[in-house]
Amino acid sequence: MSEKRKDSKGRVLRDGETCRKDGRYMYRYTDIKGQRCCIYAHSLNELREQEKLIQLHLNTGISYSSGAISVSELAERYISQKLGVRYNIRKNYNFVLNLLKKEEFGYLPIREIRPSDAKAFCIKLHNDGKSYSTVSAVRGVLKPAFEMAADDEIIRRNPFLFRVADVVPNDAAVRKALSQEEKERFLEYVLQDKCRRKHYNEIIILLGTGLRVSELYGLTKSDIDFESRKIRIERQLTRDKHCKYYIEPPKTRSGTRFIPMSDVVCQALMDTFNNRKPQRVEQMIDGCAGFLFLDKDGKPKVALHLEHALKRMVDKYNATHDVPLPPITPHVLRHTFCTEMANAGMDVKSLQYLMGHSDVNTTLNIYTHSSYEAAAHAFGKVKSAPDKGGESVEA
């Protein structure tokens, strides 16, 4: 039996390891292409740390090629190739990865996953109390990840080609636009409440423009043109859990746009300008400064500020009034604007532009919630319209 090789300190060397005369350590291995390679280090511990990374890379490559890579590893591989994504999307990716690492399904080899297994996993998530949107988010990562594996010919078929709605019920709460009566009650209450009145202008602007709340708080003084009575939208302002601010482009490619000001919105913006406390040093975020809406500490507001404020307002209102208000969020205000514009007869392409939607179907199918009153009004207009002979249209 041959004697085991050792270094100058008497430590046993593994296969492929060598201690050179100059004191450095070398590790020789065969890469995934079959080529011989060498790495060097000044200490044995450093060399073996590099060896671990090499083996991990080699094993992952072999596992992927054979389809033995796990579902969560496949998701990580897919996400690693998505560079330059928005902060919120990256946060969603991390959420899905963490969920997969807690589920047995995440450790199954991808070659063993069939469409029925994928559907069963979605059903399990739903039965465990996960919301429809959470199940959709998981499928939204796994579908393109498995598609990548199919394109690489690692698997024959993508098992996540089904629609989530065909597997689990869509129990997501539908965002409903405020009725005129609800809107008036809410605005009157906000104006009368000394504590909540400070949010009135923000609410009026959202109701009168349909902006996303992150777009509203991304506005700077230079984005408001009172002479032309228009607002320039070209950024969103967000903040992570560590209170670090981020500037991002609008949600879609159609999000960069100009919004006209009504008299009410113009007045609300003027009030905002006049009430904004002068700052000794304007906070600079990714090259932008002069943000219109500031919190009590003089820092730019973000979506959570208004989301929490609206919830407190509605909770307090419903605790003291017999006729309650529905849940109101910044997005409900956006829905309300879109629905009112549609009911007023604005053409869908103009409405799509104002909302910043890249797809007109989003405008048509999601944001325009009609009502019996609106339908009856439109019906009445059609019934009373004159025909070609000048007579009213008869039934």
Q: What is the CATH number of the domain that holds 150?
A: 1.10.150.130
Q: What is the pLDDT of residue 253?
A: 79
42 is catalytic: no
Nearest Cα neighbor of 273 from 265, 283, 284 is 265
At residue 255, φ and ψ (nearest 5 deg) are: -75, -25
**199 belongs to a structural domain:** yes
Same domain (yes/no): 323, 222:
yes
Check 232, 257, 331, 369 and give the catalytic one.
331
What local confidence, expressed as pLDDT, does residue 121 receive?
97
Which listed residue (119, 139, 143, 334) is catalytic?
A: 334
Same domain, 191 and 134: no
Same domain, 363 and 330: yes
191, 278: one domain: yes
Do 87 and 102 lie in one domain? The reply is yes
Residue with tokens 């320039």: 232
> Among 66, 97, 124, which residue terminates a domain?
66
Active site residue 139: no
308 given a catalytic annotation? no
Q: Which two structure tokens, joined as six digits, stand for 309?
A: 């404020």
**Catalytic residue of the set 48, 229, 251, 257:** 251
How do the residues of the chain divide into helix, strand and coil, expressed in percent and rounded to 5? 50, 10, 40
| Of 139, 183, 235, 357, catalytic | 357
Residue 230 falls within a domain, yes or no?
yes
Integer-rounded Cα radius of gyration of the chain? 30
283 and 157 both lie in a single domain: no
Residues 207 and 134 in one domain: no
**Are residue 55 and residue 75 in the same domain, yes or no?**
no
Is residue 367 flagged as an active site residue?
yes
Which of 279, 311, 286 lies closest to 218 in space, CA to CA? 286
Identify whether residues 62 and 87 lie together within a single domain: no
Q: What is the mean pLDDT of each run of 10 residues along the chain (395 residues)?
A: 79 91 89 78 90 72 72 92 84 94 94 95 96 94 95 92 93 79 96 89 96 96 95 93 89 88 96 91 92 93 95 95 95 92 88 88 65 62 58 44
CB-based contacts of 82: which residues, under 8 Å, 6+ apart? 89, 93
- Same domain for 186 and 216? yes
Boundary residue ending a domain (137, 166, 195) = 166
Catalytic residue, chosen from 212, 239, 301, 305, is 212
The encoded tokens of residue 32 equal: 């995934």
Is 331 among the residues known to form the active site? yes
Residue 81, both tokens = 């190739």
In b/e form, how buried is each residue of 4-15, taking b as 16+ CB within 10 angstroms?
eeeeeeeeebee
Contact 193, 201 (CB under 8 A): no
Whether residue 210 is found in the same domain as residue 261: yes
Residue 390 belongs to a domain: no
β-bridge mates for residue 65, sequence order: none
Residue 385 forms part of a structural domain = no
pLDDT at 383: 57
Residue 37 belongs to domain spanning: 17-66
Please identify, among 166, 200, 231, the residue that sits at the C-terminal boundary of a domain.
166
Is there a domain that residue 11 lies in? no
Q: Phi then psi for 70, rounded to 5 degrees? A: -80, 165
Task: Give the pLDDT score at 371.
Answer: 61
Same domain assignment for residues 147 and 277: no
- The one-letter code for the residue type at 72 is S
Quick check: is 340 in a domain?
yes
Q: For residue 265, what is the domain's CATH number?
A: 1.10.443.10
Structural domains counted in the chain: 3
197 included as an active-site residue: no
In this structure, is residue 392 part of a structural domain?
no
